[in-house]
Amino acid sequence: MNKKALVTGASAGIGRACALALLKDDWQVVLVGRRVDALQETLALAGDKAGNGWVMAADVADEAQVSQVFSQVRDRWGRLDLLFNNAGVSLPGTLPGDVRGEDWRRAVDINLNGAFYCLSQAFRLMQEQQPQGGRIINNGSISAHVPRPGSIAYTATKHAISGLTRAASLDGRPFGIAVGQIDIGNVASDMTASMATGIRQADGSIKTEPRMDMSAVVETFMTMARLPLSANILFTTVMATSMPYVGRG
């Protein structure tokens, strides 16, 4: 029987690439995002595997919408083997004193609250289903370890994701629920296009940064997804080899 997965933020970037990899690997996949048209574009890219995909429009920051998504998953499948908690948003580079409360709350609502709503719903389903258990992979970030200049909201929420991962991993042990986190640095996508032309560094200079191909992220993600539930990658970092992460500056 095909394993069942749910991917948030599946309309573009990392979420799209990982959802397509799961479909290619014969998983049945719920693709979740705010825009139906973009989700349909993702599904169309799956070719003859598109029949294993299921598009559901939802804003993860809305607890009621998340609850409705998982209610439909429960009704249709009765189980979930994998949640990729991927949806997120970043703000333009802003000093702490200039971050508006509404922008701070938007980042927290999507990056942290949304991740928790999805994790909570998936955890409950995996706890109750038979056979019991499943896997949850949270998309952290290099920012779960170190910040970029002007990124206080994004960095704070991504540090919180690490706490979410650790706590849920501990609580999942009695139920066969494996919770891990993938921290990604400088993958080539529309969101990181500025890195190829120059991005602000800690010393105030503007420099280009190396980026890695999306395939490196997908391979790392699929390694986590394919593990038996008796094993878990709690944290892993995949990044462009020469990006300015380890070192001073």
Strands 206-207 and 199-200: antiparallel
CA distances from 171 to 52, 137, 140, 176, 228 (A): 31, 15, 19, 10, 18
245 catalytic per annotation: no
What is each CA distance from 179 to 57, 148, 176, 221, in whole angstroms?
A: 25, 26, 10, 13
In angstroms, the CA 32 to CA 151 distance is 26
The catalytically annotated residue of 154, 179, 187, 238 is 154
Peptide bond into 96 cis (omega under 30): no
And the tokens for 33?
Answer: 């995002």
**CB contact at 8 A, 49 and 26:** yes
Annotated catalytic residues are 154
